[in-house]
Amino acid sequence: MTDRTPTTPSPLTLSSVLVANRGEIARRVFRTCRELGLATVAVHSDADADAPHVREADTAVRLPGDAPADTYLRADLLVKAALDAGADAVHPGYGFLSENAAFATAVLDAGLTWIGPPPAAIEAMASKTRAKELMAAAGVPLLAPVDPATATEADLPLLVKAASGGGGRGMRIVNELSALGGELAAARAEAAAAFGDGEVFVEPYVTGGRHIEVQILADAHGGVWTLGTRDCSLQRRHQKVIEEAPAPGLPDGLRTALHEAAARAARAIGYRGAGTVEFLVTADDRAHFLEMNTRLQVEHPVTEEIYRLDLVALQLSVAEGRPLDAAPPLPRGHAVEARLYAEDPAADWRPGTGPLHRLAVPGAVRLDSGVTDGSVITAHYDPLLAKVIAWAPTRAEAVRRLAHALERARIHGPVTNRDLLVRSLRHPAFTTADGLDTGFYGRHLAELTGHDAARTARTRLAALAAALADAHGRSRFGGFRNLPSQPQLKTYAADGETYAIRYRLVRGALHAEDFPRVRLLAHTADTVVLDVDGLRREFTVARYGDRVHVDTATGGHALTALPRFPDPADRTEPGSLLAPMPGTVVRLAAGLAEGDRVTAGTPLLWLEAMKMEHTVTAPADGTLTSLPVRVGTQVEVGALLAVVGD
């Protein structure tokens, strides 16, 4: 769909672009800049000094410090970096200051080109409450707000949302009216800490709704493109996990209405550049405006794949004053994107940190990543490792291709959500598109993260392969013996289970009571081939200290090799609560003090890491005997947070 009203912009030509961001989006923008012959400038915190986006840029400028507030959120430092490096344009990426009107204004005031919408358009959409007022005036459908002072049981469930920012921060679902006051206070506190603005609002929470968005692109000549729909309904903590384009199963009339509403939204605020208008679509196919993201979206690759466009190149073209074509190209096929996070979905989405030794995704898929082999994942930033995107002529083919590539990916390092992604893509509710709504993980997470007998059997085989590879690596004779001997014992931990592997190798033959139908065909220090019930199975083994990664055609397994004799010094006091990841204590339970009685499951404190808050609760009924941390305390993995005794 196209809308065009003539204007007369001033053309210009760019030569050097600074990306005021990091990681995957910085590398993405740099890739297009190189193709267009533009010089590139990176900025980096101290934690990112050796990051891939820094190495790939023509010039890099240091932002002293590690915390985002001291680096990527410092508009003054970013503008100075652009001027010092000789850049003539700034691309904000997404996140950080990408939707900050004051930053856009500062860039323009410095005589630089802002690769984004006018500051007035950003400001108009910055507050979700103000945005809803503007959209209502423009005839865009939306959910009516609820006054928390007059809310009744009939209004439940409710959703408390931060007026500024996004990413699920400052958002709370309220199912009981008595909890509304507490959730309002918690949302205000989180929003103020995350965005510097504690304003929140309340609206009906739609169960069974789909998160549908429309990609828009507008030029300075009055042209507005609407580039189809995306379904982003699969979310955890209100943050997207799997996205696809076009959104499946939408009636033609609804699809047209969404395009028209998105175009009206763009015209209403004089939009220019790339942006996204987000809607909540109810089960009866009614659309309601959620918000407008005045930037490039994380999930933009699925739109690029079906339209065969480079949205970053179009952003740059629009910023230079060039008009869009009269109409966009026609879409073709289907694209699906999965966000690979360093996190454990089975442990309340706990993020992982540490070195990423290997990331390799096979197959005909697109990989947009901010990391490479050897990158270190820290607690300072979002746990996104990569976006894996598959395109195919049909949805079924694209989904199958993506699941196949993820299953065979080699990911050696922190725990990831890879298995969840594969299982989600193969779940009947997703493959049929009959269960696509924002409650998907609320309904299916337990089964998607559970470990059945088949998974346990595969992990046990992987542990056997790890033990055989280890034996070959430790023996210059390959671990073989000519005479019978006592069984070898290797013990591994994985997925909360312990696997004790007892075996003997006699003249190249495997003898293991727990594996009576397994024959050893070949093995080296990094490859083991087994015959399992007549089926040939190959295992690739990689070791990093006590961590062992075993990759197979049916998925990867991360094992921890356990010592034969545990160190007594590793024991901790019963009832000790240890930090599961590096982070900062951002809140303590109101009035909490040593000596208080607590009950199992009672929140004690909140730890912030990787842009997410994690609640630390009492493990059992008892007395809080120690609370060595305070608000603002920074902790490392394993640091003592509290002790609950009898």
**Cα radius of gyration rounded to whole Å, the chain:** 27
Q: Which of 22, 27, 236, 295 is catalytic?
A: 295
pLDDT at site 141 = 86
- How would residue 123 be classed by pLDDT, with cut points 50, 70 and 90? very high
> For the chain, what is the mean pLDDT?
91
Distance CA 553, CA 558 (A): 15
The pLDDT tens digits for 13-31 are 999 999 999 999 999 999 9
Helix axes 128-137, 119-126, angle to 10 degrees: 100
pLDDT at site 478 = 47
Distance CA 249, CA 242 (A): 16
SS3 283: coil
Nearest to 146 by CA among 200, 205, 202, 206: 202
Model confidence at 565: pLDDT above 80: no
Catalytic residue check, 322 = no
The pLDDT tens digits for 186-238 are 888 887 776 677 888 898 888 889 999 999 999 999 999 999 999 999 999 88
Question: Please, what are the domains in the chain?
Answer: 2-125 (3.40.50.20), 144-204 (3.30.1490.20), 210-451 (3.30.470.20), 454-561 (3.30.700.30), 570-645 (2.40.50.100)
**SS3 letters for 21-73?**
CCHHHHHHHHHHHHHHCCEEEEEECHHHCCCHHHHHCCEEEECCCCCHHHCCC
Model confidence at 243: pLDDT above 50: yes
- How would residue 300 be classed by pLDDT, with cut points 50, 70 and 90? very high
pLDDT at site 379 = 86
Where are the alpha helices (H) located in 118-236, listed in sequence order?
A: 119-126, 128-137, 180-195
Distance CA 22, CA 433 (A): 34
